[in-house]
Amino acid sequence: MRDGSRTEHAQAEDAAFMSELLAGRVDERGYADYLLRLRTVYATMEAVVRENTDDPAVAAVFDPGLERLPAIDADLDHWLPGGPRTVDSPAAAAYRDRLTAAATSGGLLAAHHYTRYLGDLSGGQAIGRILDRGFGLAGRGLAFYDFPAVGRPKAYKDGYRARLDALGLSSRAIARVVDEVRVAFRLNQALFTELAASLPA
């Protein structure tokens, strides 16, 4: 999954919205717009994953301790107190529809699960620290990056990979999963493109 998405990952790292965010040039409203889109993604993903835990591929990765919806809601209370919790976003709607369609196959759901949560436990941890330092937040509004139930990310990611490997999927099934990881990256890229378009010039 990692090898198959290297190009897409490099593109995500280069996304203008990400560099603006990490350079401190996105304001509270811009960050809330990002969180609102992530809220759509995680609310859908966490619901379909919970509905499909009897599938072996979903069971291999399912962990309620990863779920981000409560953290996103806590962060939105900080960034957008009393504001809306939904957003009119074609990119988030497309991501939601793809997640719903992926519910027909545990492997496809695992692809989406991997793309978001392993990202959150990898580069996401560095992003959280940069935002904390850059904005002097002392952790406020950054629950999204905090995984109290996970422990050391490195050990967790090793265990996660081992559980996926132990599924013994055929090379054909693996190819489908990796293709879906690429799709998931493109859906994330589309979120960034949409967000960059609404940043002030």
Q: Write down the least CB distance from residue 124 to ligand HEM, Å.
A: 7
Q: Write down the least CB distance from residue 75 to ligand HEM, Å.
A: 17
Options 9, 39, 68, 113; binder of ligand HEM; rule CB under 6 A:
9
Whichever of 84 and 162 has its CB closer to ligand HEM, that residue is: 162
Please tell me whether residue 4 binds ligand HEM under the rule CB under 6 A. Answer: no
3-state helix, strand, coil in the chain (%, to 5): 75, 0, 25
DSSP 3-state assignment of 23?
A: coil
Tell me, by CB under 6 A, how many residues bind ligand HEM.
Answer: 15
Distance CA 110, CA 14 (A): 25
Distance CA 155, CA 150 (A): 9
Using only the alpha carbons of the chain, give its radius of gyration.
Answer: 16
Question: Which 166-185 residues touch ligand HEM, going by CB under 6 A?
Answer: 185
Whichever of 65 and 83 has its CB closer to ligand HEM, that residue is: 65
Q: Which residues contact residue 35 at a Cβ distance below 8 angstroms, ignoring those fewer than 6 apart? A: 72, 75, 76, 79, 80, 144
Distance CA 143, CA 148 (A): 10
The CA-CA-CA angle for residues 115, 120, 125, to 5°, reads 150
Please tell me whether residue 29 binds ligand HEM under the rule CB under 6 A. Answer: no
Question: Which 104-133 residues touch ligand HEM, going by CB under 6 A?
Answer: 114-116, 118-119, 122-123
Are the C-beta atoms of residues 62 and 45 closer than 8 Å to each other?
Answer: no
DSSP 3-state assignment of 2?
A: coil
> Among all residues, whose Cβ is closest to ligand HEM?
123
Please tell me whether residue 52 binds ligand HEM under the rule CB under 6 A. Answer: no
Whichever of 2 and 50 has its CB closer to ligand HEM, that residue is: 2
Please tell me whether residue 2 binds ligand HEM under the rule CB under 6 A. Answer: yes
Whichever of 101 and 126 has its CB closer to ligand HEM, that residue is: 126
Tokens of 166: 């132990």
Binding site for ligand HEM (CB under 6 A): 1-2, 9, 12-13, 18, 114-116, 118-119, 122-123, 185, 188
